[in-house]
Structure 1
Amino acid sequence: MSRVRTVLGDADPSTLGAVDYHEHLFQVSPLLPGDELDDEARSGEEAAALHAAGIATMVEATPTGLGRRPEAVARISAATGLAVVQVTGAHHGGHYAADDPLLSWTVAELADRFGAEVTDGFRDRAGRPLVGPTGEPIRAGVVKAGIRYWAIGPFERRVLAAAARTHRRTGCPIMVHLDFGSAAHEVLDLLAADGVPASAVALAHIDRNLDPGLHVSLIERGAQLGYDGMARHREAPDSAIIDCLWKVAEQTEAVGILLGGDVARATRYRSYGGLPGLDYLPRRFLPRLRSELSPASYSAIVGGNAARWLTFA
């Protein structure tokens, strides 16, 4: 059976509706002091607002060791009706303290952890299984890796290799954080050498490099492209993202384009006292995008492409 693995169990891909492929309900990182997402009630308010604005499914993209809370995510999903896919995997090394044991793990150790979280479910530090509101195991549905700006260090390479091994063992899709959209082809090359087809890979933050020609070349390889830089006007206005996305969609029939907000900061969540809020994507960005695209392209970008990517191979 085709399946997408959510925190409340496996779902039929056809039921996902509008998908936000990249958000965070919980996150704590030494790179983001003062921006901790660590309050279940407040994060639940943001999730409810996202769902009320029209998003039916989101990917919670916080990986190992960064304040991830799968039990709280499952409670929020059950309470709000928002389907949530939780990632396993690891970020690039800059998000971890220098003495974090994770940085020294081997590919085999990383892959065993990631794979177990996909097949058996998450566990707490004492090794006890984490379960959802009705007692079911909470399992990961995406494995994440990350690289720095034009840099793939030894730890990042091990995580990519472990993500590839996890995909081969489980069929789980992969998300890769690209600093400023860099090294996209290089990441696909490494994963391909490890047996991963580009169609299984979502390249996050590709719109931090607004280059339509590059984006088309990545889609031609079969990759999924994550546009998630909206509401970051210091880097690029939403109009520039829409213009780039439209040019790419025109050349590719909108295949392989994913949308997310990656709001990811307490200072940018209304429930934590910030702006613009987790619902900026459906509330502000999507109405503008809809006016620029054909109905078929809009439907693919808002839901269909993500459903295919999230489906286990």
Structure 2
Amino acid sequence: MSVRTVLGDVPAAALGRTDYHEHLFQVTPLLPGDELDDERRSGQEAASLRAAGVDAVVEATPIGLGRDPAGVARIAADTGLHIVLTTGAHRQEHYAAEHPLLAGTEEHLAELFTAELTEGARDQAGRVLPQVRAGLVKAGIGYWSISPFEHRVLAAAGAAHRATNAPVMVHLEHGSAAFEVLEVLAGHGVAANRVVLAHADRNPDPGLHAELCAAGAYLGYDGMARHREWPDSVVLDCLVATAERGGAQRLLLGGDVARRRRYRAYGGLPGLDYLPRRFVPRLERAGGAELVHTVLVANPARLLDWATPPAA
């Protein structure tokens, strides 16, 4: 086994520079007017990422939020990007109260997530696409809170992981409850080194981050180009400081742009290629080429590889 992409399994060493967190399709009631629902435009945005030197990307939209597995596969074929599709579910607030996913039992969710990893992802009409399988399981929590639904999703993600050794991504709201999530997942059989904590940099605390890395978890840095909250220098300094504290082998980079108004192909700014064109050169100047290779190539390849042992 290697890395499961929408066009089939590829050796981890073939991934190249990997953006661990983007969205090509997404529709959520939390972001009205920011829908990513146009395959042509999303494909153009993905092509810009490829042209800027990114070789692989995780499409991090889980079930029930406008995800389009067939569209993602076509974009992968058209652009040459290795794209890893995501199964699982987001934090509860992303789903309308009547959404059927919210009523799913732990057992049902586990069966669904596992089937998407091993048999084929479901399209928005519920049809299974056996030629397009997911390669990662996602869960999400609120700000210092885990609802009953979110607990069921974490448990189901654990079951799907145990069945496949697929990696698990967890959305941390504002970077909160990181150790608490690792504890919950450990209780469901997921070792920390098979987990990436998305948005860890929304709490830019290099001391905490070094502790999380020492525990084995991967940390997703994806808060660049959010200048209303902080300048890129905050993310950059936190990453370099965490690496200097021994965490370099557990850091990942992504853009998580995720909004129509921020995609150039949809008429917005700054576009998906902000990460490789603007942020990565600054990281290389601040931390060196070896650190860039570690966070963009070596670390995502290790995390996304289904053959990586739980204790690595």
Report the TM-score, using the length of structure 2 for normalisation. 0.97
Secondary structure of the corresponding residue to residue 26 of structure 1: coil
Q: Which digits, 9 at most, give the CA deviation of each residue in 1:262-299, with x for residues without a partner?
A: 00000000010100001110010000001111332221
1:311 aligns to 2:305 (yes or no): yes
Contact 1:253 1:297 in 2 (8 A): no
Q: CA contact under 8 A between 2:262 and 2:270: conserved in structure 1?
A: yes
- Equivalent position of 1:231 in the other structure: 225
- Indicate whether 1:27 and 2:23 are aligned: no
Pair 1:240 & 2:215 matched: no
Counterpart of 2:281 in structure 1 is 287
Name the % identity. 62
Instruction: Answer yes or no: is 1:273 the counterpart of 2:267.
Output: yes
1:182 aligns with 2:176: yes
CA deviations on 1:79-105 (whole Å, 9 max, x unpaired) are: 010110000000011000001111111
Counterpart in the other structure of 1:156:
150
Q: Which residue of 2 aligns with 1:36?
A: 35
Tell me the equivalent position of 1:257.
251
CA-to-aligned-CA distance 1:161-202 (integer Å, 9 cap, x gap): 000000000111000000000000000000011111000000
One-letter amino acid of the counterpart of residue 219, structure 2: L
**3-state DSSP of counterpart to 1:232:** coil
Which residue does 1:54 correspond to in 2? 53
Number of equivalenced pairs: 307
Return the letter of the residue paired with 2:253: L
Moved over 4 A (4+): none
2:15 is the alignment partner of 1:16? yes
**Partner residue, 1:134:** none
Kindly state the Cα deviation for residue 235 of structure 1 after the two structures are TM-superposed.
Answer: 1.1
Q: 2:200 aligned with 1:206, yes or no?
A: yes
Q: Is the 8 A contact 1:62 1:87 kept in 2?
A: yes
**Is the 2:67–2:123 Cα contact (8 Å) retained in structure 1?**
no
Deviation at 1:253, TM superposition (A): 5.4
SS of 1:255's equivalent in the other structure is helix
| Amino acid across the alignment from 1:149 | Y
Partner of 2:162: 168
Structure 2 gaps of 5+ residues are 308-312
- The equivalences for 1:83-162 within 5 A come to 83-124=82-123, 128-130=127-129, 137-162=131-156
Distance in 2 (alpha carbons) for counterparts of 1:88 and 1:19: 19
Runs of 5+ consecutive residues of structure 1 not aligned to the other structure = 132-136
Paired with 2:198 and 2:297, the residues of 1 have a C-alpha distance of 16
The one-letter code sitting in structure 2 at the alignment partner of 1:65 is G
After superposition, the Cα gap between the structure-2 partners of 1:202 and 1:210, relative to the gap in structure 1 and judged at 3 Å, is same
| Distance in structure 1 (CA, Å) of the matches to 2:177 and 2:235 | 19
Q: Quick one: structure 1 residues 125 and 79, their matched pair in 2 at CA, closer, same or farther if it must change by over 3 Å?
A: closer
CA–CA separation in structure 2 for the residues paired with 1:14 and 1:126: 35
Look up the equivalent residue of 1:129 and give its one-letter code.
V
- C-alpha deviation, 1:123, in angstroms: 2.8
Change over 3 Å in CA distance of 1:153–1:49 after alignment to 2? same
SS of the residue corresponding to residue 252 of structure 2 reads strand
The DSSP-based 3-state class of the residue aligned with 2:129 is: coil
TM-score relative to the length of structure 1: 0.96
Would the aligned equivalents of 1:17 and 1:56 in 2 still touch at CA under 8 Å? yes
Distance in 2 (alpha carbons) for counterparts of 1:123 and 1:184 = 30
Kept in 2, the 8 Å contact 1:122–1:130? The answer is yes
Partner in structure 1 of residue 310 of structure 2:
none
How far has the Cα of 1:126 moved from its partner?
5.6
Deviation of 1:129 (Å):
3.0
Give the corresponding residue for 1:218.
Answer: 212
